[in-house]
Structure 1
Amino acid sequence: MRLRLQQFRPRIGPHEHRVVQPRQPLRHTSLRAPEPIGLLLGDHDGLNRLAGLLSFAAYSRHTIVHVPLRDGLPPDEGVGEPVDLVVAHHTLGLRPSKWPELRRKLVNGTSLTVRTDEARTARDAAAWRELWERPDSRDGLRHATHARTFFLSGSRDVFAETAACFAYAAGWGPQHKRVVEGRSALMTALPTLVQEPGGGHPLEVLICFKPYPPYAHFRRPGAESRLGAK
């Protein structure tokens, strides 16, 4: 997949950071923070680009991926606080408390085009799933919500698995019959969020497909060819 991005090089003290954003907003995609259930609602374009962005993040250890989802159209379902998404390798050590200062410095970006390798992403996602089945596996998605932003940190392989989840939702979501009526379809969830100590309801972020209105523009794959066959 080819991704068109904006690249920024903000500096805090002696440290320079690399931050990228989608060049065009994901207008029909939104994210609600998990309290304890979050909701990521997107159309095919949004979910497909999120798959590409997570794939890019998986192999960019020194890059912060910022997806300003609050800039899109307000969703017509779901509860909870609308938030942006930030993805960074855990080895980068990004602290959510530092993000507001970094975000204010995201000015004068430069254009960047990158390509992702879906085959490599699929291999690393499969490797993560195999390892996760072992009793001693600890490679989950660390997360936090701060400053109207949902932060995900993790390793290359768990980011690859997250990319695969978005790709699955983008590819199979349009197949659901009721989406032509404007209804959302629950596809999957973010893989294995690290849970907070103390028990309680497990934190989850559900991933749902939903076409954007007006729904007359949307046809499930194959619908046109069947209509033509008549």
Structure 2
Amino acid sequence: MPLAITRHRARLGPAEFTVIRPARPLTRAVLLDHDRHLDAYLDQDAAQRIGGLWELAASSPRSLIHLPLRTNPPPPHAPSEVGTRRLDLVLLHHSLQFAPARWKEVRSRLGPGRPQAVKLPDEPRPDGAVIPSEARHHRENRDLFHQHLHAETLFMTGSAKVFRETTRHFLDVARHGPGYIPIHPNYPHFCTELHANDGILGAAREIHIEYCDQWPP
């Protein structure tokens, strides 16, 4: 399945950074920070493409995957209490050792980028490419997500394995969200979570991911 992206480069002194963005804006996607937890609201197209970018993060250890989301309006039913803020998202491999404090300057130096189509697998990777269940809660498990907040951006840092393991959350939203039939009034939309009990979160908060087809015009 091809994924349309733009590839950007930015130089800070002797260092050069590669930044990958979706070629088309993810207009029906928003990431909200509620201090103690994070909520993502996505339509089918956004969930499908974010799943592709999540998979791309696993195979692009030298790149920053940037999802500009913070200017998107949230869906009508999203929480709007004081203190809630919208965030961009950056996905990166832990081996890159990128300092989030440098992001604002990198972001300001990005040009229009070079269009590219990336070939991704049609189906999620087989079980052999993801984290064995017995290793997830092991003390020395390094296949964990860590998060940092800087310049209105959430940085999700992880290994190739943990990105591949969790791509399925977004693909599930794209596949099951549009035809979802509520079985309880408290759960009117299809949703999933990056959950601490799954053994994938280190210094990171849980992320609730919800399908949404009602968006501002």
Contact 2:3 2:52 in 1 (8 A): yes
Corresponding residue of 1:84: 88
How far 1:72 moved relative to its partner? 2.7
Corresponding residue of 2:208: 206
1:1-230 superposed matches below 5 A: 1-33=1-33, 35-76=35-76, 77-79=78-80, 80-119=84-123, 121-123=125-127, 126-129=130-133, 131-134=135-138, 136-178=140-182, 185-191=189-195, 192-195=200-203, 203-213=205-215
CA RMSD of superposed structures (Å): 2.4
- Larger gyration radius, structure 1 or structure 2: 1
Contact 1:48 1:167 in 2 (8 A): yes
CA distance in 1, matches of 2:86, 2:2: 27
Pair 1:43–1:130, CA change in 2 (3 A): farther
Contact 2:6 2:22 in 1 (8 A): yes
SS state of the match for residue 4, structure 1? Answer: strand
Contact 1:2 1:114 in 2 (8 A): yes
My pick for the range that moved more, 67-76 or 87-96, is: 67-76
CA distance in 1, matches of 2:28, 2:143: 31
Residue identity matched to 2:202: V
SS state of the match for residue 137, structure 1? Answer: coil
Residue identity matched to 1:190: L
Unaligned runs of 5+ in 2: none
My pick for the range that moved more, 136-145 or 49-58, is: 136-145
More helix as a share of residues: 1
Unaligned runs of 5+ in 1: 197-202, 215-230
SS state of the match for residue 19, structure 1? Answer: strand
Question: What's the TM-score, normalizing by structure 1?
Answer: 0.80
CA distance in 1, matches of 2:71, 2:7: 18
CA distance in 2, matches of 1:129, 1:87: 23
CA distance in 1, matches of 2:128, 2:71: 31
Pair 1:58–1:184, CA change in 2 (3 A): farther
Q: Deviations over 1:50-74 (max 9, x none)?
A: 1000001101111110000124333
Equivalenced residue count is: 206
How far 1:35 moved relative to its partner? 1.3
Residue identity matched to 2:79: G
Pair 1:11–1:190, CA change in 2 (3 A): same
How far 1:213 moved relative to its partner? 4.2
Residue identity matched to 2:107: R
CA distance in 1, matches of 2:70, 2:132: 30
How far 1:185 moved relative to its partner? 1.9
CA distance in 2, matches of 1:42, 1:142: 22
Question: What's the TM-score, normalizing by structure 2?
Answer: 0.85
SS state of the match for residue 164, structure 2? Answer: helix
Pair 1:125–1:184, CA change in 2 (3 A): farther
My pick for the range that moved more, 169-178 or 80-89, is: 169-178
